[in-house]
Amino acid sequence: MSAIITSPSLASVNIGILGLGVVGSSTVNILKENYDELLRRTGYDIVIKKAAVRNLEKSRICSIEGITLTDNVYDVIQDPEIDIIIELIGGIELSKEYVLEAISQGKHIVTANKALIATHGDKIFSYAHDQNVIVAFEAAVAGGIPIIKILREGLVGNKIKSIVGILNGTGNFILTKMQNEGVAFINALGDAQRLGYAEADPTADIEGIDTAQKLSILSSIAFGTSLRYADVYIEGISHIKHIDLLCAKNLGYTIKHLAYAERNDINIELRVYPALIANTHALAKIDGVTNGVLINANAVGRTVYYGDGAGGLPTASAVIADLIDVIRTTAVHPKNRVPSLSFQPASLINYTVNSIEKAIFSYYLRFLITDPANAITTNINIIAAKYGIKLFESKNMSNLIDTDNLSTVVITDKTTERLMNLFILELQNNYNFTDDNIIKLRICDHGC
């Protein structure tokens, strides 16, 4: 079965949607609201034929006029009259099953599912390639910012050097709220949940999993590698305290949960962690639920993109852009289509992902000293010197906290992650510090 719509005079396209939650409903609403504009721009009448939902009785936030609802996903993906399936149910294993079945039926796929793409993308793209169908996933990264199109097509002439991104709106909302309103992490998280930004189980957002999935997709496109989600170094933000944001601010920095990918001659770096970035950095003012991406490429230099990274409408914007792309591209011979990950399937590059142990940073260290006379303040330079680490004089931050505990903040010269970890381990062993009492954050200077 071939999924190539060969007739260029085709005037209408039938689509099926899996899931009518916030993104699904927004997609329906925007397709209806902008119907005339889309018809004018593309020349196609887009017909939403069927939608699969979990509960047929549930009230909807979109008009379902003209759409056949079903609670059986296979009613949609096996409908021979449907050309394109929009997968918006999330999750990983079930979605994978549905997407693979839809591909086997010759359907093109549009999905917003970063977890699915990051985890099973290679298998899905390879199967889609065999079946001559397209799998589009702009909505999987950075919501409404067309960052995948930018990387894969807009900057196609460039060799991409590095990508720095704020890719999780929930985490950025929490850090912004902590910074601006002085609230604790747990309270900022609670606000994010009340406002519907964070899910009941916020683990994927705050522990960097969601960001790592998105980063693995971007780096795969940028560097021509297979998807390397499992190789991303990941640190979350739940250990960040308000005092860290205050101290950072006092030093001219802000703290952001960064995704970082870089290619050097032979290897790539893939990391997600909270980091201090200078207030003048292009991403320093990306606040709240906004996502931002800085791309450094060999021809164009540095370009920056930002906008709402999540929510129904921005995600629907990306879903519809993909839908139009798929419709336009169906008449293209597969060889001439934009490859899913910007590489030819037969020629994956096998870069090694570097261990973070070898990476070099300056660090921000905050020690919580319950006893002001603690010997650490006199011995720390001696211990640091053992590892070749230079400590810079830091501002006295004690005026920034309202507890009886003293926080001492130190900024270090550049050293490797490995030496820094050894240094901290010795401090922990010698002075009974717990993880809670020593906060280590990397400083992202130049690119990052």
Catalytic residue among 96, 107, 214, 440: 214
Q: How many CB atoms lie within 10 A of CB 399?
A: 9
Q: Minimum Å distance from CB 122 to a copy of itself? A: 17
Quick one: 268 or 356, whose CB is closer to a copy of itself? Answer: 268
Quick one: 40 or 382, whose CB is closer to a copy of itself? Answer: 40
Bridge partners (DSSP) listed for residue 276:
255, 443
Torsion of CA 428, 429, 430, 435, to 10 degrees: 20
Instruction: Provide the pairing of β-strand 45-52 with 68-70.
Output: parallel
Q: Minimum Å distance from CB 350 to a copy of itself? A: 13
Q: Minimum Å distance from CB 160 to a copy of itself? A: 9
Is 214 annotated as catalytic? yes
Q: Minimum Å distance from CB 381 to a copy of itself? A: 38
C-beta separation of 14 from 81 below 8 A: yes
* 3-state secondary structure at position 194: helix
Distance CA 48, CA 84 (A): 10
Which of 255, 262, 257, 292 shows the shortest CA–CA distance to 276?
A: 255
Q: Minimum Å distance from CB 233 to a copy of itself? A: 26
Q: Minimum Å distance from CB 358 to a copy of itself? A: 25
From residue 69, alpha-carbon distances to 16, 50, 56, 148, 428 in Å are 10, 6, 7, 31, 59
Query: If you count DSSP H runs as helices and E runs as strands, how many of each does the chain have, helices first?
Result: 14, 18
CA 19-24-30 angle, 5° bins: 155
Residue 265: what residue type?
D
Q: Minimum Å distance from CB 429 to a copy of itself? A: 45
Q: How many CB atoms lie within 10 A of CB 341?
A: 25
C-beta separation of 165 from 258 below 8 A: yes
From residue 316, alpha-carbon distances to 69, 92, 357, 441 in Å are 19, 20, 40, 35
Q: Minimum Å distance from CB 438 to a copy of itself? A: 35
In the complex, the residues that contact a copy of itself under the rule CB under 8 A are: 8-9, 26, 30-31, 33-34, 37-38, 40-43, 138, 143-146, 149-150, 153-159, 224, 285, 297-308, 313-314, 316-321, 323-325, 327-339, 342-344, 347, 349
Quick one: 106 or 307, whose CB is closer to a copy of itself? Answer: 307
Q: How many CB atoms lie within 10 A of CB 391?
A: 17
Quick one: 305 or 387, whose CB is closer to a copy of itself? Answer: 305
Please compute Rg for the chain using Cα positions. 24
Distance CA 353, CA 356 (A): 9
Counting every residue, how long is the chain? 448
Local structure of residue 293 (DSSP, 8 states) = E
Q: Which two tokens stand for residue 35?
A: 């119907």
Quick one: 110 or 411, whose CB is closer to a copy of itself? Answer: 110
Distance of CA 292 to the CA centre of its chain: 10
Residue 361: what residue type?
F
- Residues catalogued as catalytic: 214
